[in-house]
Amino acid sequence: MSQDFEPKNIIVTGGCGFIGSNFVHHVVREHPGVHVTVLDKLTYAGNPENIAGLPEDRVELVVGDICDAELLERIVPGHDAIVHYAAESHNDNSIANPEPFLRTNVEGTYQLLEACRKFDVRYHHVSTDEVYGDLALDDPARFTEETPYRPSSPYSSTKASSDLLVRAWHRTFGVRATISNCSNNYGPYQHVEKFIPRQITNILDGQRPKLYGDGKNVRDWIHTEDHSSAVWTILTKGVLGETYLIGADGERDNLTVLRDILTVMGKDPDDFDWVRDRPGHDRRYAIDSSKLRRELGWKPVHTDFQKGLEQTIAWYTEHEDWWRPAKGATEAKYRAQGQ
């Protein structure tokens, strides 16, 4: 049965990261009666600047670890819901060192579920389409909620593990939970380690963009603002125990996206380097989001990818002070990996 849930006081884990901070901005702008407690460890990927300037009576930052059960005992009571974004989120990092992915993505989810069970708090779990593995380039199929789990990387296998914990805690303990699996996000505040910001900031920095493998890998791009509206819809209208796939029909191969970036930025579309491929590199992701659209009435608004890409390029061009501090170390790590 569909829930009409009206949260007033929510915890957003990972609210200083890319997608979590965009969700916090979305909630502050679109849902004036809601107070947000951001719980964030401020790892290399978390930046308090991402939520700076939001009204103090609407947003509070608690710096801490989702694995810290005592901290959760202190802060979870009094909240109506936890929206769980915090994660180690980068595939290449998970290949270099899987350990933090096990801890944050699996143990962290376990601790949050235990806190929700203890204090009877609604839980929404933000996950990824990567739990379904990949599709062949010539396969007409897309992922649905029924696609079997087949993760490829240490990152996606820990996200898949955390999804399974959520399903079990809902069924066995009655935790009021929903899960969403979204495709690749783009937009402002994305860390420079990720594909689109890395290429934009390389060009701004006078370096050549770097393309893995043969560049034919396909990702299904969605603007992060559409991801936020989808998560809010599922939190407030979703059926407990259900999984919803979030996507905006944005399939594009990496070579095409890179050439678009180069062209918008006034460069020759072939002015980039081919670099070593990612081990186990998933070929294609594609989301069928018709369940979410049909059952909960959600639809994406930012469907003009070219326009969204141009706005994203403009954002990075205007916010060098935001990305510059992370750029040197990120590229040094890639250079050491031959990427």
The residues carrying an active-site annotation are 129-130, 155
Q: Which is nearer to ligand TDX, 72 or 179 (CB)?
A: 179
CA quadruple 209, 210, 216, 219: dihedral sign: negative
Residue 66 binds ligand NAD (CB under 6 A): yes
Binders in 265-324 for ligand TDX, by CB under 6 A: 278
* Residue closest to 3 by CA, chosen among 241, 163, 174, 167: 241
Least separation in angstroms between residue 36's CB and ligand NAD is 14
H or E element: which one contains 328?
helix 320-336
List % helix, strand, coil for the chain (3-state, nearest 5).
45, 15, 40
By a kind-dependent CB cut-off of 5 to 8 A, residue 82 interacts, out of ligand NAD, ligand TDX, none, with none
Residue 248 binds ligand NAD (CB under 6 A): no
Q: Is 307 exposed, middle or buried (0-12, 13-18, 19+ CB in 10 A)?
A: exposed
Residue 152 binds ligand TDX (CB under 6 A): no
CA quadruple 273, 276, 278, 281: dihedral sign: positive
Q: Which is nearer to ligand NAD, 19 or 258 (CB)?
A: 19
H or E element: which one contains 185?
strand 185-186
Angle at alpha carbon of residue 151, lines to 148 and 156, rounded to 5° = 130
Whether the CB-CB separation of 291 and 244 falls below 8 Å is answered with yes
Residue number closest to ligand NAD, CB atom: 17
Q: Which of 149, 212, 315, 322 binds ligand TDX (CB under 6 A)?
A: 212
DSSP character for 135?
A: B
Stretch that binds ligand TDX, among 6-14, 84-92, 114-122, 303-311 (CB under 6 A): 84-92
By a kind-dependent CB cut-off of 5 to 8 A, residue 198 interacts, out of ligand TDX, ligand NAD, none, with ligand TDX
312: its two tokens: 């994203």
Stretch that binds ligand TDX, among 74-82, 161-169, 193-201, 244-252 (CB under 6 A): 193-201
Whether the CB-CB separation of 216 and 253 falls below 8 Å is answered with yes
By a kind-dependent CB cut-off of 5 to 8 A, residue 91 interacts, out of ligand TDX, ligand NAD, none, with ligand TDX
Least separation in angstroms between residue 120's CB and ligand TDX is 29
Least separation in angstroms between residue 240's CB and ligand TDX is 24
DSSP string, 69-85: HHHHHHHSTT-SEEEE-
Which residues are near ligand NAD by CB under 6 A? 13-14, 16-20, 40-43, 45-46, 65-67, 85-87, 89, 104, 108, 126, 128, 159, 182, 184-185, 191
Which residues are near ligand TDX by CB under 6 A? 89-91, 128, 130, 184, 194-195, 198, 210-212, 217, 219, 254, 278
